């Protein structure tokens, strides 16, 4: 399974295998508010069957590689008239080694894609996440923590709210 920290390195591996990637013009890799990744390409690509096939193959390979971090099939590949206008004020950076590929983040916190701490082999971590409030996340967290504690596990609960 792909972890969050592996998204960028795996994307780079897939992109390296694409022949003549620069022919696809500017590509944006977008991470949405739920951490799902999608591709945004110029509308003009649809006019060239060869480029459309290359882009579709790239999208398929990325979805396979990213697994649960990929946006749903129907919204994984988006075509836009003006790719630059999509960026707006969102944080954006170039993907190392690729002149025509940039990453644009649409996170509420505008956090970067920098790696988080190494995965611990000792204490498993579980995250209950949702953008929307009032969906029972804190209750589900409390019930899960209580159940784990009842079964003899040591549990630490952090219930954080974002403004």
The CB density around residue 78, as the number of other CB atoms within 10 Å, is 15
Residue 112 located in a structural domain: no
Q: Give mean pLDDT, residues 94-103.
A: 89
Supply the range of the domain harboring residue 126: 120-163
Q: Give mean pLDDT, residues 85-101.
A: 85
**Number of domains the chain is built from:** 2
pLDDT of residue 85 exceeding 80, the answer is yes
Q: Which residue has the higher pLDDT, 132 or 26?
A: 26
Residue 71 per-residue DSSP state: P
Distance, CA of 149 to CA of 142 (rounded, Å): 10
Distance, CA of 25 to CA of 21 (rounded, Å): 8
In a shared domain, residues 83 and 9: yes
DSSP string, 114-161: ---SPPPSSS-------SSSSSSHHHHHHHHHHHHHHTT---------
Q: How far is CA 76 from the centre of its chain?
A: 11
In a shared domain, residues 99 and 20: yes
User: Tokens representing 152?
Assistant: 């003899």
pLDDT of residue 106 exceeding 90, the answer is no
User: Tokens representing 153?
Assistant: 């596990």
State the pLDDT at residue 140.
Answer: 92
- Residue 44: phi and psi, rounded to 5, are -60, -20
In a shared domain, residues 95 and 124: no
User: Tokens representing 129?
Assistant: 């996440």
State the pLDDT at residue 109.
Answer: 53
Segment 60-75, tens digit of pLDDT:
999 999 999 999 888 8
Contacts of 84-90 with C-beta under 8 Å, sequence gap 24+, read 84/26, 86/28, 86/30, 86/40, 87/28
pLDDT of residue 37 exceeding 80, the answer is yes
In a shared domain, residues 71 and 142: no
In a shared domain, residues 19 and 83: yes
Distance, CA of 116 to CA of 105 (rounded, Å): 16
pLDDT of residue 117 exceeding 70, the answer is no
Final residue of a domain: which of 80, 105, 130? 105
Is 0.75 topped by the overall pTM?
no
């Amino acid at each position: 399974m792909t972890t969050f920290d592996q998204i960028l390195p795996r994307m780079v591996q897939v992109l390296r295998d694409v022949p003549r990637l620069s022919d696809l013009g500017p590509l944006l890799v977008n991470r949405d508010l739920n951490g799902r990744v999608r591709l945004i390409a110029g509308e003009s690509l649809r006019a060239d069957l060869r480029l459309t096939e290359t882009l579709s193959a790239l999208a398929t390979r990325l979805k396979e590689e990213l697994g649960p971090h990929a946006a749903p099939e129907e919204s994984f590949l988006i075509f836009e008239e003006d790719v630059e206008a999509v960026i707006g004020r969102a944080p954006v950076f170039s993907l190392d080694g690729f002149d025509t590929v940039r990453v644009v983040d649409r996170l509420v916190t505008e956090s970067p894609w920098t790696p988080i701490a190494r995965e611990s082999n000792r204490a498993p971590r579980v995250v209950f996440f949702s953008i929307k409030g009032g969906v029972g996340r804190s209750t589900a967290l409390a019930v899960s923590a209580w159940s784990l504690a009842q079964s003899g596990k040591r549990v630490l609960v952090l219930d954080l709210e974002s403004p």
